[in-house]
Amino acid sequence: MSITAAELVAEARKGIREITPAQAESDHHAVVIDVREPAEFASGHIPGAINIPRGVLEFQVDAHPAVAGVSDPALSNKDCPLVIYCRTGGRAALAAQALQSMGFSNVRSIAGGITAWSEAGLPLNMR
């Protein structure tokens, strides 16, 4: 039996923690990861966010210095607070679920993504 992408996202949302844009904006200790594609990131992103596209997230997150603090995946910090977002929240929900499966213990996703962030009047960096 197959399921739709929307059903896959809905299932992922059951097992992750979603936060509001305001909650994300007030968390100054989290690493913020934008899982959109590079062109989307370049069109505007949350200040301080790093871009690790959804398609390569599982392969690159451990080695990214902002998450691991080192370039050796074996030394990565799985307790590092992470806030994940995309355009509207679907890719971020799937990414958060995957990161939790990889052992990251403090993962949150921004409900509504950068669309909700922008609608809340929160700042964006434009490249």
**Does 80 participate in catalysis according to the annotation?**
no
Spatial strand order in the sheet of 50-51: 17-19, 107-110, 82-85, 31-34, 50-51
Q: Give SS3 for 50.
A: strand
Give me the catalytic one of 57, 86, 93, 111: 86
Label residues 59-87 b or e (16+ Cβ within 10 Å = b): eebbebeebbeeeeeeebeeebebbbbbb
Q: How far apart (Å, rounded) are the C-alpha atoms in residues 70 and 87?
A: 29
Catalytic residues: 86
